[in-house]
Structure 1
Amino acid sequence: MPHVLIVDDSPDELGWMSEVAQAEGCTVATADSLRAARVQLVRQQPEVLLTDIQLPDGNGLQLVRELEAPAQTEVVAITGHASVDSVVEALRLGATDYLVKPIDIERLRAILKRQPEAAELRHEIGELRGELRKAGRFGLLLGASPAMQSLYDKLARVAPTSATVLLIGESGTGKELAARTLHDLSRRKRCPFLAVNCGAISPQLIESELFGHEKGSFTGADRQHIGFFERANGGTLLLDEVTEMPLELQVKLLRVLETGSFARVGTTQLISTDVRMVAATNRLPEKAVAEGRFREDLYHRLNVFPVVLPPLRDRGTDIELLAQHFLDELNRQEGTSKSFSPQAIARLYEHSWSGNVRELRNHVQRAFILSDDIVETADAGDAPMDTGPGDVISIRIGTPLDEVERRVTMATLERCGQVKRKTAEVLGISLKTLYNRLEVYSMKDQTREDGNPPLPRHRPPPPRSRDAGGGTHKH
């Protein structure tokens, strides 16, 4: 039974919030000041701390520093100022969620309902951090290096909470597997886990994909569509490549995160949603903010608990561990018993693995196909692209950035012999993002030719690698 501590200087607020918490099966303690709250913390640490920010004797979030085990308490800030600045400040000071006065009863109930059977969840995580970690595993992730052990510690601490997580790592480091592991170790594990790649959906469709649309809301909307936020209600939503999201949509996403509600395209009727947000990016978000491509307020709203995934080149013997894991998988699938030669293992350590675990997995599969009983690897990666005078393009100062992007993309595609996967690697973007760009360029060209904007099309993204972090996706 979760224990809740409610801190507010209003007797009326304390009264009705206590009734709601007790109705949800929680034990409740109340305090009307920081001093009284400290007394309650000494008596029993709560699973949920609901505290007003402005108290007679100070800031209620000062209590975060006095929690004996902060990772085991969900801190919800209560504020009377629904500004972005106040929310960002609350998150910086340690809150994992917030409520704006007048408090929405349904949102308060949603926060209380998502409290786990604490003992059961902690036992499961403790088991993973113990026995499974000895084998180099944690959830869907595989690796025994110090860098991965540090990652496991962070994931284990944040998984049971409702804190928003920002996963930062190069392409192929396993960000989606880390997100799935967070979901599987959370109180939301019996609810949906959905992932949406913000760089793989055309700008014309991404709002509809996230929030849904009503029939007839735009040309081609011949039926009602339920978006990701609605389908993921109660569960976890991963926004992959979040820094690729159009700026105008970032404003709407921020509003959803602030209010917990949204409207489908084509209607003003608000729909409440209870979704844990996990965002991921293969770029430095601070750089995206500095370049004006990512809103600073949204960055702070998502950056509650940042987690950096280490590149494969920093994971030491994990290279051999992962390669053997992938080879074992292939042997099981094909009914073979192939093995690496010592020379093949040595060559694996000589490569930089710019594509990280995904590149390693693809390489092992190629080597497996080309070998007999002993897997040899003559070259761990594709040969580098030759460069020369023809690899330079001239761009006039003042050229719009979208045109610069287009010209560089198309020139690189031509230089790579129209091989899209190689083009994406050279540009440092995902293959899905490249497909999305090419579709947008094609639509613009069609508009120039006939003067009429084409209907939005949603090109199915290319097949996604099943494994980017050493595990296997669950469906």
Structure 2
Amino acid sequence: MRESNLDPLRVLWVDDDAELTGGLVDYLAGEGYAVDCVHDLAAAARALEQARYDLVLVDLDLPDGSGFSLIRDTPRERAREFVVITGHGSVRTAVEALRHQVFDYLMKPVELAELCNLLARVGHARAAAAGGPAGTASGGGTAGTAAPAGTLASELLPGASAGMRQVQRLLSRAAGTDITVLLQGESGTGKEIAANCLHQLSNRRGGPFVAFNCGAVSPSLIASELFGHEKGSFTGALRTHKGIFERAEGGTLFLDEITEMPVDLQSSLLRVLETGTVTRVGGDRELPVNVRIVAATNREPMQYVEEGRFRLDLYYRLQVFPVALPPLRERPEDIDLLAAYFLAHFDSRPSGGTAEARSFSQAALDCLRRHDWPGNVRELRNVVERACLLAGARIEPEHLLLPERAAANTASPAAPMAAKSGGGSLLRDAEQELILQTLHACGGNKTRAAAQLGISLKTLYNKLKRFENRDAGAAGAA
């Protein structure tokens, strides 16, 4: 066991399956963990009143209720982290666990290696929170050998703003399951990087990560690329071809620009997602596939649904766990961090040589901060790469080659409305005016407008539909 100035990791295991817990609890105690085991919610509540725990492992199906009630009712100062354990896993259960912000989600029978890795991550997170260096987590010989998922997420997907920390947390929590994730964000916000981050954090990281752009392939070829084809199935099919589902076996499949997929193929994709099998073009055999799906779009899917360009049932199947990536203009505090990250990546100067490492001048950094970044993180990456080719040791504004943009071009929140004369505006008129002004300020982007208004996207669509009906009724009355 590693020496540590921290107390042993304290664990409460709540499970009525004595056959499962008996041997594992003894093993963990022998590895230096302080483990208490109880068999129902009442005993767990008493234990949490008497002691504080670093981790609570809780079964969902207990004799006196659901483990979720324990998670919901326990103050976080009594338990640092919760992990759900169940023998009856489902997408619905995984989503519920994620909503309760649990640290992880384990299926029975629990593997010893998986459990030890989990405890190591919890120990590492506790050490980091206490200000200790990596590797100081106590309790178990493997403690401190693995960084917590949140730390890895910030390394794979850089960003220190509140919006990006939320993305990192969501990806870290989703990584422990095979839940389908839908990434939404403007072009250039890093959706493929986020998908790859999710893959690297998951248990599928040893398998392939396959990216497929649904909008970049000819409609006549997309079925073959997705599902594969048999030899002789069409003119030019000279040999059997494996589709991307087969090529991603055991790993993660990233479907970018999913809303651009032809409507006639969306039903075939839905069938694959529901059955876990594919049938090649020209074939009659259903081939089992084991892939984790991550989809992405820079559009508003519900608008495509309303226009008949995207199936509603496929949308609901894909958006089980949605994650929104904020545009760079909404997280300006990340600009310096990202610029330094890309500079370190593109700087070709030998790190051990005598040449001075490249750096940004203060004027260059100010220039980066003033830019509104319509191309988001991808644009910043390209600007830094270009500057590395043009500059010497010091990157100045002239090396950035940024167009001059007025600060006023950036969208600003809607201005407060003045009350109308003649008794003031009615509440519904004020609501309509505020929503329409906000939508205009957001350039027509309903997702951003909903977020700025503090309402759901569905609520915004319903209100806009109601405004449309009111206006049509008023025009008819006139």
Does 2:387 correspond to 1:367?
yes
**Are residues 264 and 95 of structure 1, via their aligned partners in 2, closer, same or farther at CA, if it must alter by over 3 Å?**
farther
Is the CA contact (8 Å cut-off) linking 1:92 and 1:304 kept in structure 2?
A: no
* TM-score, with structure 1 as normaliser: 0.58
Amino acid of the structure 2 residue aligned with 1:307: V
Is the CA contact (8 Å cut-off) linking 2:258 and 2:296 kept in structure 1?
A: yes
**Are residues 135 and 323 of structure 1, via their aligned partners in 2, closer, same or farther at CA, if it must alter by over 3 Å?**
farther
Distance in 1, matches of 2:122 and 2:305, equals 35
Partner in structure 2 of residue 381 of structure 1: 402
Does 2:292 correspond to 1:276?
yes
Partner in structure 1 of residue 266 of structure 2: 250
2:278 aligned to which of 254, 262, 279: 262
SS of the counterpart of 1:196? strand
| Identity over aligned pairs, percent | 47
Distance in 2, matches of 1:237 and 1:176, equals 11
**Are residues 185 and 119 of structure 1, via their aligned partners in 2, closer, same or farther at CA, if it must alter by over 3 Å?**
farther
Aligned residues: 325
Distance in 2, matches of 1:268 and 1:339, equals 60
Q: Tell me how far 1:282 sits from its aligned partner.
A: 1.1
Partner in structure 2 of residue 463 of structure 1: none
Gaps of 5+ in 1: 7-21, 28-38, 51-61, 79-86, 97-109, 385-427, 429-475
Partner in structure 2 of residue 225 of structure 1: 241
Does 2:335 correspond to 1:319?
yes
1:194-213 equivalence runs, <5 A = 194-213=210-229
Does 2:172 correspond to 1:175?
no
SS of the counterpart of 2:294? strand
Q: Tell me how far 1:370 sits from its aligned partner.
A: 2.5
Q: Tell me how far 1:368 sits from its aligned partner.
A: 2.6
Is the CA contact (8 Å cut-off) linking 1:139 and 1:181 kept in structure 2?
A: no
**Are residues 92 and 182 of structure 1, via their aligned partners in 2, closer, same or farther at CA, if it must alter by over 3 Å?**
closer
Q: Tell me how far 1:367 sits from its aligned partner.
A: 2.3
Q: Tell me how far 1:42 sits from its aligned partner.
A: 7.2
Distance in 2, matches of 1:233 and 1:42, equals 44
Query: Quick check: 238-247 or 187-196, which moved more?
Result: 187-196
Distance in 1, matches of 2:95 and 2:176, equals 19
**Are residues 264 and 331 of structure 1, via their aligned partners in 2, closer, same or farther at CA, if it must alter by over 3 Å?**
same
Is the CA contact (8 Å cut-off) linking 2:189 and 2:327 kept in structure 1?
A: yes
1:336-355 equivalence runs, <5 A = 337-355=357-375
SS of the counterpart of 1:200? coil
Is the CA contact (8 Å cut-off) linking 1:128 and 1:139 kept in structure 2?
A: no
Partner in structure 2 of residue 152 of structure 1: 168
Q: What's the Cα RMSD here?
A: 4.2
Does 2:313 correspond to 1:293?
no
Is the CA contact (8 Å cut-off) linking 1:136 and 1:143 kept in structure 2?
A: no
Amino acid of the structure 2 residue aligned with 1:373: A
Does 2:256 correspond to 1:240?
yes
**Are residues 136 and 298 of structure 1, via their aligned partners in 2, closer, same or farther at CA, if it must alter by over 3 Å?**
closer
Is the CA contact (8 Å cut-off) linking 1:215 and 1:223 kept in structure 2?
A: yes
Q: Summarize deviations over 1:109-156 as a string: whole Å, max 9, x none.
A: x99899981441564487589577998962421112222111111111
Q: Tell me how far 1:249 sits from its aligned partner.
A: 0.9
Amino acid of the structure 2 residue aligned with 1:280: A
Gaps of 5+ in 2: 1-12, 26-38, 45-55, 72-80, 99-106, 129-133, 135-146, 406-444, 446-478
Amino acid of the structure 2 residue aligned with 1:343: A
**Are residues 148 and 222 of structure 1, via their aligned partners in 2, closer, same or farther at CA, if it must alter by over 3 Å?**
same
SS of the counterpart of 2:332? coil
Does 2:180 correspond to 1:164?
yes
Partner in structure 2 of residue 59 of structure 1: none
Is the CA contact (8 Å cut-off) linking 2:94 and 2:179 kept in structure 1?
A: no
1:412-451 equivalence runs, <5 A = none
Partner in structure 1 of residue 75 of structure 2: none
**Are residues 155 and 185 of structure 1, via their aligned partners in 2, closer, same or farther at CA, if it must alter by over 3 Å?**
same
Is the CA contact (8 Å cut-off) linking 2:60 and 2:84 kept in structure 1?
A: no
Distance in 2, matches of 1:375 and 1:260, equals 51
Q: Tell me how far 1:43 sits from its aligned partner.
A: 8.3
Distance in 2, matches of 1:237 and 1:72, equals 26
1:358 aligned to which of 373, 378, 390: 378
Q: Tell me how far 1:240 sits from its aligned partner.
A: 0.8
**Are residues 115 and 257 of structure 1, via their aligned partners in 2, closer, same or farther at CA, if it must alter by over 3 Å?**
farther
Q: Tell me how far 1:95 sits from its aligned partner.
A: 9.0
Is the CA contact (8 Å cut-off) linking 2:184 and 2:322 kept in structure 1?
A: yes
Q: Tell me how far 1:313 sits from its aligned partner.
A: 1.3
Amino acid of the structure 1 residue aligned with 2:328: L
Distance in 2, matches of 1:205 and 1:177, equals 26
Q: Tell me how far 1:197 sits from its aligned partner.
A: 0.9
Distance in 2, matches of 1:314 and 1:290, equals 28
Amino acid of the structure 1 residue aligned with 2:358: K
SS of the counterpart of 2:348? helix
SS of the counterpart of 1:239? strand
SS of the counterpart of 2:397? coil
Is the CA contact (8 Å cut-off) linking 1:128 and 1:138 kept in structure 2?
A: no
Is the CA contact (8 Å cut-off) linking 1:179 and 1:278 kept in structure 2?
A: yes
Distance in 1, matches of 2:170 and 2:285, equals 39
